[in-house]
Structure 1
Amino acid sequence: MSWPRDMTKNENLSLFLVSEKHIMSPEFHSRFSWCGGLRKYHVKFGVSNITPRSIGNLREFSDIETGSWYLKSENKLVPVNVENRRSVKLPEWYYKSMCKLVDHEQGLLITGRQELLNPPQTAFKTAIQTRYSDLDFNLHLNTAEYYKFCSDSASMASQSGYYRHFTSDIVHYPVLQIEASFLGECGPAEHLVVYTWQDEKDFTKLYFVIHRKEVRIFQACFIHESKMSTDKVISSL
């Protein structure tokens, strides 16, 4: 997300995503799968939180008639100087204007920084090379690609018999929650290693860490439904 050129004297600022959390209702995948058909939904978007150095956005998809929600999502962004890649403060005019829009009645999904995930020696590993088509307009890896890499890795792990309980392709077990942290940038033609493993106590929790050489650039926790879905799926998410 970039700053509008006519809104600030400093055109070297962009907003970079650092963390996000998604919570899906059990009906989410049925509603948004191929079997769900075309429907109208109510979409709510608001400012969930703001500090001089960060801003949070909250989105909610819900049923127009009943008001029941299907998806709640929150992300946290920080302003960065695109030349030196260092975090900076939000412009004062922007900070003051956004403070007026914060929804104080809506609870936060992201309540704190995600704990550091350390892959065990037994973690399932997948090697990936990034492509130029994976980049966004900031010329680094698109957010969606990180999730795609994790989903592909989880599919390989589940079908190889690495996970317990998930003996079929993981795409048949709906994702109910995702919490992710974006810890570093990544460009094209980079060699990455995706680590995935299962929580020792809760088999529905799958962990992911992506390394570029020895640098951790991404980590996430996916919570899956324990039962296999009968809906026709489009992809892992």
Structure 2
Amino acid sequence: MSATRDMERDNDIHLFLVSEKCVMSPKFHTKFSLAGKLQRYHVTYTFSSVTPGSVGNRRVFSDIENGDWYLKSEIKLVPVNWKTRRPTKFPKTFYENTCKLIDNEHMPMITRRQEALIPPDISFKTSVQTRYSDMDFNLHVSYAEYYRFSCDAAAEASLSGYYRHFNSDIVNYPILQTEATFLGECGPEELLLVYTWQDEKDLEKIYFAIYLKDVRIFQACFIYDNKKSHDHVMSSL
């Protein structure tokens, strides 16, 4: 990653996350439960795609002994000019060198842009205020916090009886897949509106949209297991 640091220093470019997709094995929640011991695992990190204006990174967490995978994830990042906060292109040398490192053995997990998720009128709505401790090194709310906001909204909605089937705390139902798109930035001490709703046909699909004023800055679809977990997992993810 030294090339990335050099690019940031010499070209005033920072990488911003725009989308992420994660798939969890059912073993993931059991292996990393509070009842188990601290686990060791193997991580592979590869480039899944690259264009002049974006790069995809793929990570696989697997068992050291038998190679079984626990979690697969892919993120897509775009270069942004730090001064203008606008998308830009990679330096030619960085782009050409990265192209040589693409993992051509596996298909990218993110193969299309996520469709716009617009909250229906029947959505469950809650609010959250961002904190200074939510900030990351790019001086905006960290991407991980949006997952927290979504999980908290899902727990609140499930406990209120809003969802079909998930009529107790939804944290007891393991998340099997997430797909998220980061559409805008947000700073500290901002009031966000968090919307969540359930797919009309597939009860395991739960949607989220987060708004700053009238602007949708985050959206996601989580797929939950329809069976409760008997393990006390460390988190809903």
Q: Tell me the TM-score normalised to structure 1 length.
A: 0.96
2: distance between equivalents of 1:36 and 1:63? 15
Alignment of 1:95-114 (within 5 A): 95-114=95-114
Mapping of 1:1-237 within 5 angstroms? 3-5=4-6, 9-10=10-11, 12-237=12-237
The question of whether the paired residues in 2 share the 8 Å contact of 1:130 and 1:189 is answered with yes
**Rounded Cα–Cα distance in structure 2 between residues aligned with 1:64 and 1:236:** 24
CA distance in 2, matches of 1:7, 1:14: 5
Q: Supply the distance in 2 between the matched residues of 1:232 and 1:20 (Cα, whole angstroms).
A: 26
Deviations 1:103-125 (A, max 9, x none): 00111110100000110101000
Partner Cα distance (1:206, 1:176) in 2: 12
Query: How much does 1:168 deviate?
Result: 1.1
Runs (4+) of structure 1 moved beyond 4 Å? 5-8
| Structure 2: tracts of 5 or more residues without a match | none
Is the deviation greater in 35-44 or in 142-151? Answer: 35-44
Taking only the aligned residue pairs, the percentage that are identical comes to 61
Contact 2:41 2:63 in 1 (8 A): yes
Cα drift, residue 63 of structure 1? 1.3
Please give the per-residue CA displacement for 1:21-41, whole angstroms capped at 9, x wherever unaligned: 000011111111212312321
Contact 2:126 2:195 in 1 (8 A): yes
> Counterparts of 2:236 and 2:169 in 1: how far apart (Å)?
9
Q: Which amino acid aligns with 1:212?
A: L
Structure 1, unaligned runs of 5 or more: none
Rounded Cα–Cα distance in structure 2 between residues aligned with 1:4 and 1:175: 33
Partner Cα separation in structure 1 for residue 223 and residue 13 of structure 2: 35
Report the count of equivalent residues: 236
Q: How far, CA to CA, are the matches of 2:206 and 2:24 in structure 1?
A: 16
